Amino acid sequence: MMTSQPTPTGPIGLVGFDGDDTLWKSEDYYRKAEQDYLDILSRYVDLHDTATARHLLEVQQRNLAVFGYGVKGMTLSMIEAAIDISQQMITARDLQQIIDIGHDTLRHPVELIDGVSESVAAIANDYPIVLITKGDLFHQEAKIKVANLRDLFPRIEIVSEKDPETYARVLEEFDLPIERFVMVGNSLRSDIEPVVTLGGWGIHTPYSVTWAHETQHGVAADEPRMVEAPTAFDWPQALRAIEAKAAQG
């Protein structure tokens, strides 16, 4: 969906926003799902052994190329990990409970993070904006609908992975050089690293909890093409700081 957007003549021509844990809360519900999963596994293994949680992460990471990101992939990985770690002793009843965890997580409330609506609207007055979010197509579409974001974002991209190739494709469709693009997000791995690697800019707003997979990145704390914004309220100011940096070449 495309509508009329501003046409800035300055050094920044497009601002992208991540979805999960940048615009709306998400990881909290995944953490609850993982705890509920571990409660089930406590019937079979000693939860004081940190290998239990680590095993689930390893299975999830291994399955990303097959199942992708999102609740459905998480649930299938939970089932696989539970069968493995219980040495195939887990009951059908407990497997059903893991499936129920997936169902409950898919139906979690969609709660915008404080400051998101105001800051995105303010930025949209001056710049074209795009929502770039990864995960399960149906679940992401549902969250965008419930959050009433379709009217705010003229362009929405739901992608299977956030890597340099994905960002390069999006920017090619906008016919915009990467050095005029800013990505706003909570994940250094997915939102910042691919963009600054290509020569773009990043605004990093950490969320209170982060999936272990997303903590694996190569972004330095003093990355010159990144600005830290503690909250969503700080995004317009952070964008002005990047404009000033970009204008200096």
Residue 53: phi, psi to the nearest 5? -65, -35
Residues of the chain with pLDDT under 50: 1-3
What is the distance, to the nearest Å, from the Cα of residue 80 to the centroid of all Cα atoms in its chain? 24
At residue 135's C-alpha, the angle toward residues 41 and 175, to 5°, is 160
In 99-179 the beta strands, taken as DSSP E runs, fall at 129-134, 156-159
**66-125: per-residue pLDDT in tens?**
888 889 999 999 999 999 989 999 999 999 999 999 999 999 888 999 999 999 999 999
Hey, is 197 helix, strand or coil?
helix
Give the tokens for residue 205: 């707003």
Contact between 203 and 243 under an 8 Å Cβ cutoff? The reply is: no
Residue 240: phi, psi to the nearest 5? -65, -35
User: What's the pLDDT at 145?
Assistant: 87
Q: pTM of the predicted model, to two decimals?
A: 0.86
